[in-house]
Structure 1
């Protein structure tokens, strides 16, 4: 590693440590009763939460409503949160349960391609944007989303967590309560299935 690469790595590491520190301070403030501090958490994770909910609901209005509900419930339970843990993996479990309960209530199958609506895969809130703006604006994005949507629930979930939420293997394992080895195996086969579906689309 040359000096430039070393300096860049150190900068990225320091920046990440700063973000973790700021997040922990915000959570501690929330636990002390400071509601304003929770805005930092919401702003940081609202895009990820929206797309995670959209993965289940396939409807932008429902995804926005459910992600907001998840933030509300997380705040109500924030005093029980262990600040030594990763916040988003804890929050994701809350969000997932809300989405699954919603789907069950509405009698909607999360993996049904019949419910797919291309227009619903775009944010209802202009303040929400994808981490990768180029991907969102691409003409090919609708085909990629169709391919992802056609995967079964488990494959779709792990693809979203890794490729879009950019979770580490450990974070995915914590979120899904499965071993890291299972994460790697499921992700490997999910990627193969997704690639095969994309090849069929572009033939």
Structure 2
């Protein structure tokens, strides 16, 4: 009995997920449906970009550009596949192209990681000046250490530690074997541990 049901309810009755319905509508040029996907994934996209480029302003710009390009390429969307991995590939290419400029690359990479500690400091109740100083020192050490990671290791580290993705999800996003993800993450952790220990 489909009488009296909305189009969305009828589509869901057909077994489609909410995301698949939105993707199908976006393919047809529905900007409202695309706005819903932007609302769902903008923050995740922003933090992924931030992990790759290190600058909040650049991450915001690149995230917005990724969505703009996604809408232009909407005909290639597949409603049967998750939206975010497809969007992430667009974002990743944009971020790599952005960081290819070696003069700005070093400066951007040195800022990577600072946002995480700054956010933790804001959320923690740190009335103790000694704790504040220790947090500031940790932030500076993390910025430098993360900034020195090779791009492939840094990307896996950010996806695992900051976004909380599983190994399989990272492998699917980056289109590499799961063993490659694990070895890059291991190497990143070893480098960071050695760097932070050397500074301590």
Same topology, TM > 0.5: yes
Alignment match, 1:63: 59
Contact kept? 1:113, 1:150, Cα under 8 Å: no
Indicate the SS of the match to 1:93: helix
Higher helix share: 2
In structure 2, what is the Cα distance between the partners aligned to 1:103 and 1:27? 30
Alignment match, 2:110: 116
The size of the alignment, in residue pairs, is 171
Which residue of the other structure, out of 162, 166, 191, is the alignment partner of 1:193? Answer: 191
Alignment match, 1:80: 76
TM-score (norm 1): 0.71
Q: Deviations over 1:176-199 (max 9, x none)?
A: 221112112221222222222232
In structure 1, what is the Cα distance between the partners aligned to 2:111 and 2:181? 29
Report the alpha carbon displacement of residue 73 of structure 1 after superposing the two structures with TM.
0.5
Report the alpha carbon displacement of residue 147 of structure 1 after superposing the two structures with TM.
2.2
Q: 1:188 to 1:107 in 2, by over 3 A?
A: closer
Q: Deviations over 1:26-75 (max 9, x none)?
A: 22221222111122222222222222222333222221111100011112
In structure 2, what is the Cα distance between the partners aligned to 1:60 and 1:152? 20
TM-score (norm 2): 0.72
In structure 2, what is the Cα distance between the partners aligned to 1:136 and 1:21? 37
Alignment match, 1:11: none
Q: CA RMSD in A?
A: 2.8
Alignment match, 1:155: 153
Alignment match, 1:14: none
Contact kept? 2:21, 2:79, Cα under 8 Å: no
Q: Are 1:35 and 2:60 matched, yes or no? A: no
In structure 2, what is the Cα distance between the partners aligned to 1:87 and 1:181? 24
In structure 2, what is the Cα distance between the partners aligned to 1:52 and 1:121? 14
Q: 1:109 to 1:155 in 2, by over 3 A?
A: farther
Report the alpha carbon displacement of residue 113 of structure 1 after superposing the two structures with TM.
5.8
**Which residues of 2 match residues 130-149 of structure 1 at below 5 A?**
134=120, 137=123, 139=135, 140-149=138-147
Higher Rg of the two aligned structures:
2
